[in-house]
Structure 1
């Protein structure tokens, strides 16, 4: 993300954002994702924010890498995770065949819609064969500006279009869920688990 309002928002509000997300209960999503990852497997928390999820994965014995586009958030996340969180965007992700799992929780939704296909190819390339990708978007079909940030909303059709454009990715399942933050329960999320093809 170049100089843009979303990045400015997170750099200016990093501490508040981190504090407001660290205690959110994500256990239902962990139960969907983690059984797909081998013991001690390597998980990338992509767009990690506070590193809440990366820290949990690390506690469970997984090898964890993390990045965030916001320098301020990455600095806070590095402290929380007790390892370096890279400052990087999805567009800059150039790993190949590296991760058993990639976790994109409420992070891809800030990628402009016309850049999502290339980003999904980057994610596909970064996964090992049989690797699993988790993504979540606010449910809808619009690109919008809200509370100082740019959002790309996605529904099942939009998600399927992205997956079908990636030759090695296939959908395991998708489902809707309510926001877990107090007062945000009316916000609906689209979640999906996506698998990379085996190396056969």
Structure 2
């Protein structure tokens, strides 16, 4: 569960957070993710924030679903996306074999480290066979509180161990990138594309 502290932050700062993230250029990440998704396929933007990315995917002809744990963010995101954004957490995700792609951009990092294994199983189950999952975490090895939000940082080793514990997930690639927000360029992110392999 996102902690009450983190949820309170997003509920109290939903408009500021939306304003500061809605125009960030994510095209480099889209170029990695979208070619792996079936044309016109169904993408889940999980922990969608402002729905910036979901709106882009929708413009590209994909079917889009989205959720966020923050009621206030989900309300703003629904307006931007022009469809309902569900209020939900990763721990409540119970879909099976439903999505061609799942996009978890800077969202899983608020899940406590001890809950991530269960969440990765839920993401695996929600993907169709050969579906692709994108995840990003701030690069590191700590659980920490920063400016009223709780973060779980991962590196390649900790991320790989999470993926290895899911029998149907295969790592396609991982890479590091700099934060795209002005003034945050020194912050490093760990990105990964992960594929759901059909059961043998």
Sort the TM-score into its range (normalised by shorter chain).
Answer: over 0.9
Matched, 1:176 2:176: yes
Map of 2:40 onto structure 1: 40
What is the match of residue 112 of structure 2? Answer: 112
Displaced runs of 4 or more, over 2 A: none
Mark the CA change 1:199 to 1:167 in structure 2 (over 3 Å): closer, same or farther.
closer
The number of equivalent residue pairs is 200
Q: How many angstroms apart in 2 are the aligned matches of 1:156 and 1:75?
A: 34
Cα distance in 1 for residues equivalent to 2:50 and 2:34:
19
For structure 2, list consecutive stretches of 5 or more residues without a partner in the other structure: none
Matched, 1:193 2:193: yes
Q: Which residue of 1 aligns with 2:145?
A: 145
- In the alignment, structure 1 segments of 5+ residues that lack a partner are none
- Deviation at residue 176 of structure 1 after TM alignment: 0.1
Relative to structure 1, the CA distance from residue 22 to residue 154 in structure 2 (aligned partners, 3 Å threshold; closer, same or farther) is same
Asked whether the 8 Å contact 2:3–2:150 carries over to 1, the reply is no
How far off is 1:199 after superposition?
A: 5.2
Supply the distance in 1 between the matched residues of 2:99 and 2:80 (Cα, whole angstroms): 22
Tell me, in whole angstroms, the C-alpha distance in 2 between the residues paired with 1:2 and 1:135: 17
Task: With the length of structure 1 as denominator, give the TM-score of the two structures.
Answer: 0.99
Q: TM-score, normalised by structure 2?
A: 0.99
Q: Provide, for residues 45-84 of structure 1, a one-character-per-residue CA deviation record: whole Å limited to 9, x for no partner.
A: 0000000000000000000000000000000000000000
| C-alpha RMSD of matched pairs (Å) | 0.9
The residue number in structure 1 matching 2:164 is: 164
